[in-house]
Structure 1
């Protein structure tokens, strides 16, 4: 078979796979609305935040959580060995907000990852069945954050997956971080919407306390760095017990990393957990990322070795795919409450392909890292 034919057939194969993900999953998320599906559930909620030397972030973001428009909720801060005055400041805030609970951790057991231990202790201390998680550096997008997440529960629901984005800043690194974050959100939320949940983000995640206790929390992977959010969801989610919440008022926003080294360290920690996912989820994600990579490789090959007619055909097909991507990213961004022009989308996707394989391999080979 001539190389030009091989390149064209390869392009068509991976184009078909990527188109399947786009049409079957991503467009469905882009046009998804809660509508009448939202079930009002005024159950009391326990918001839990683990913080290690997060005084600056707590001062910036905690008030927005404490002033939520919801009839019955508590906010639990797990102060994990902080030495920046966080505990003392929180005690003063507690004088104004009686629904604020502060738990101080002085030492983490040797066999337990510090983040998971802090979170486990916070869940055990929670008074309510509905647990809602976020981080100290997260800003809630409205006073209805708790209400939107809590109202997504139905009788059979055990987990609710929310979206968490990064604040917009200047520069290519920030554009890439936001692109990577939205693409990840599109993947896990669209698959969950299609009854194939595989992960969640701890910056905006809710589940039942009884689910956590019944499955002995993080005990089976307590020593693994990370996984308190995505691995927990991966182990316990199924087609019936998981729902998503992607309304503007339910989104949280975090401060992005501002240098490449810090970003790489953060993503290495996140990606290193992927090898513990269920095999079916590893396969599905592997097919998506591998086909995404090979599509661009074969596209470049085809442009270099084929005739004019084929050249224009594959170029047209790639333009149609890019338009589809723009539609998905634009509509999903609007749902999240962030207008994202994404003018550099094709370039960012190519950068993402290099990033994913380099950082992914590094994550698989890296040694154990600490939370903080």
Structure 2
């Protein structure tokens, strides 16, 4: 009975990954001819807190954009930084080719500092299209152009674009790149199928009109996280045919992997804590299914050791779970220009079930630490 259940779950997961593979291959990368007028007014909002080590790199990237400088502005929403972030941004205003606004937010013990930073910045933004990213991100020179052209092509209300981690020497960061690629890629496939479930605020764009039409962050302003996914769900609910993923390497944004286990723990706990607040049952069901699949595979290990599960069944269940998963992860990594890490995928596949199960259970608790603050 239990063995049959394990096989059913493994086979369903195999089929799930096959669907992801065919979906990903069906939607080819967007062309880069960029023939639409480059006249859309754009506001890039960057919520920051203590990003002195990183913010200048991002501003330099924005200074190298191919999109007309007169048609975009950048608003750095400084959330009570205690380092030199504000001073660095202010100094950069002298050399910025675009309009650079430093929006120093008043001290506030908001439950959701990032949502507050975006909302307050929208009050002074002049763009029709809002793009958000983080202070530790890097972008290519065609980033804004790629998003703007796709926005016009699709007449989109929301565009989610690819995010990955910077390539650095060391096993720890490389493992995070692979794990994170699964989230970005599966979220992209869900958007291709018009069943959006995940996105990332480090590379998100939406129209000002759509933001206010769905009531912005109202309804989940009490949650510290969710400036990206919950807003996407609201926009997708009202404009189901106008939410897209931009499959274009020009649109890739890179951010920092977590350097310490403590930071990794808090970031993943923050991400995992959102699932129980999802209103869409299909999104909740998918989260539960992924948790159950990985937890079931963990159960095969003590089963093998105790002798209640034969070696042949253990191998069969492992192959069923990992084979299609290996292919889709390789496809995601290749698109994100991380194909050199494909050889590490099996290592992540063995670790991942324990990771998912741990954070899935941990997410039932409350509170985490982020950017030096205790948040809920």
**TM-score of Structure 1 vs Structure 2, range by shorter chain:** 0.7 to 0.9
1:25 aligns with 2:26: no
Looking at structure 2, the residues matched to 216 and 228 of structure 1 have their Cα atoms a distance apart, in angstroms, of 13
- Quick check: 2:297–2:353 contact (8 Å CA) kept in 1? no
* Of 118, 139, 152, the match for 2:150: 152
Q: What's 1:3 paired with?
A: none
Separation in 2, partners of 1:193, 1:285: 18
Superposition pairs of residues 93-112 of structure 1, within 5 angstroms: 93-110=92-109
Q: What is the CA distance between 1:151 and its match in structure 2?
A: 1.9
Matching residue of 1:291: 293
Instruction: Tell me the equivalent position of 2:354.
Output: 354
How far apart in 1 are the matches of 2:310 and 2:359? 36
Q: Which residue of 2 aligns with 1:259?
A: 260
d(CA) in 2 for partners of 1:353, 1:66: 42
Q: TM-score, normalised by structure 1?
A: 0.87
Structure 1 residue 299: deviation in Å?
7.8
Deviates more, 1:221-230 or 1:89-98: 89-98
- Supply the distance in 2 between the matched residues of 1:273 and 1:317 (Cα, whole angstroms): 30
- 1:83-98 pair list within 5 angstroms: 83-98=82-97
Q: In structure 2, do the counterparts of structure 1 residues 216 and 39 end up closer, same or farther at CA, with 3 Å as the change threshold?
A: farther
- Structure 1: gaps (5+ residues): 1-5
Give the number of equivalent residue pairs.
363
Structural mapping, 1:1-372, within 5 Å: 6-35=1-30, 40=36, 42=38, 43-71=40-68, 72-110=71-109, 113-140=112-139, 142-153=140-151, 154=153, 156-238=155-237, 239-278=240-279, 279-295=281-297, 297-298=299-300, 301=303, 304-305=307-308, 311=312, 315=315, 318-319=318-319, 322-367=322-367, 369=369, 372=372
In 2 relative to 1, CA 340–40 (structure 1 residues): closer, same or farther, beyond 3 Å?
farther
- Residues 1:307 and 1:223: Cα distance change in structure 2 (over 3 Å): closer
CA distance in 2, matches of 1:36, 1:127: 28
Instruction: Measure the CA separation in 2 of the matches of 1:41 and 1:24.
Output: 36
Question: Shift in Å at residue 194 of structure 1?
Answer: 0.8
Structure 2, unaligned runs of 5 or more: none
Q: Which moves more between the two structures, 258-267 or 166-175?
A: 166-175
Distance in 2 (alpha carbons) for counterparts of 1:16 and 1:180: 22
**Separation (CA, whole Å) in 1 of partners of 2:271 and 2:339:** 26
Shift in alpha-carbon separation, 1:306–1:275, aligned structure 2, 3 A: closer
* Deviating more after overlay: 38-47 vs 229-238: 38-47
Q: State the Cα distance separating 1:232 from its structure 2 match.
A: 1.5
Q: Secondary structure at the match of 1:126?
A: coil
Secondary structure of 2:201 counterpart: coil
Task: Provide the C-alpha distance between the structure 1 equivalents of 2:310 and 2:271, rounded to a whole number of angstroms.
Answer: 43
Instruction: Verify the 8 A CA contact 2:21 2:328 in the aligned structure 1.
Output: yes
TM value normalised by structure 2 = 0.86
Give how far 1:77 is off: 1.1
